[in-house]
Amino acid sequence: MFDELLKDPSRWFRTRFRGYDRRQVDAEFRLVDQELEVVTADRDAALSRAESLAVQLDEARAELHEYHQIHSGHNTRQDPVAGCIRYLIHSAKKEAGKIERDARSHADQIVQQSESLLAARANLLDEAEQEAQRRLASATEQARQIVVSALHESKRLLDELTDRQRLLDEWLKEITTSTNVPLPRPTPRGRAAHAARQ
């Protein structure tokens, strides 16, 4: 591949006053990069295919080895049906074992998922209980503050009423003990009643 690139006359660069033509070199590098990407992709695909074929070959060898083990000591030419039955029984056991392993694996996954769901729900319940406790504590504190505020307000009002009652009592006492208080003025109806009595 590299020999072909070196022998290709179109791969040579023209020289200019200060070296090679930069645009031509850049264009050539882009082409080389593109070709390298294609070759790399082809190589990766070939390696992947080779790995797949190697796995298939290993599986075929293992199956052939099992077949030889099953039929070792038995003459399959004299009784080919018995050999086929033994192979079918072996294949069925092998498939049953695979199904059982898959079922156990699936059951283990379900158990793990169930346990993780239960743990998540337990966490949610714990969080909900903590939130309820927090809200209850907050509501209790707010109620306590309201009650304390109401008690302070009622004490203030009671003190205010007590002061007013004391002032009224002092005023009433002053009025009743004072002799300088003028008598109420008679109204016109009151004068007529007073004149009738005399």
Whether 43 and 102 share a structural domain: no
Domain boundary among 19, 41, 74: 74
Whether 103 and 67 share a structural domain: no
Residue 130 sits in which domain range?
95-164
Let me know if residue 37 belongs to a domain.
yes
| CB-neighbour burial class of residue 91 (10 A; exposed 0-12, middle 13-18, buried 19+) | middle
Confidence (pLDDT) at 32: 87
Q: Which of 196, 175, 194, 173 is nearest to 185 (CA)?
A: 194
Whether 58 and 113 share a structural domain: no
Whether 54 and 99 share a structural domain: no
Let me know if residue 60 belongs to a domain.
yes
Let me know if residue 59 belongs to a domain.
yes
Q: Does the pLDDT value for residue 2 go beyond 50?
A: no
Total structural domains within the chain: 2
| pLDDT per residue as tens digits for the range 35-75 | 888 888 888 888 888 888 888 888 888 877 777 766 665 55
pTM for the predicted model, two decimal places: 0.34
* Full DSSP string of 41-104: HHHHHHHHHHHHHHHHHHHHHHHHHHHHHHHTTS-TTT-HHHHHHHHHHHHHHHHHHHHHHHHH
Whether 112 and 58 share a structural domain: no
Whether 101 and 65 share a structural domain: no
Whether 12 and 54 share a structural domain: yes
Let me know if residue 46 belongs to a domain.
yes
Let me know if residue 190 belongs to a domain.
no
Whether 11 and 47 share a structural domain: yes
Radius of gyration over every alpha carbon of the chain, rounded to an integer in angstroms? 55
Let me know if residue 80 belongs to a domain.
no
Average pLDDT over residues 161-170: 90
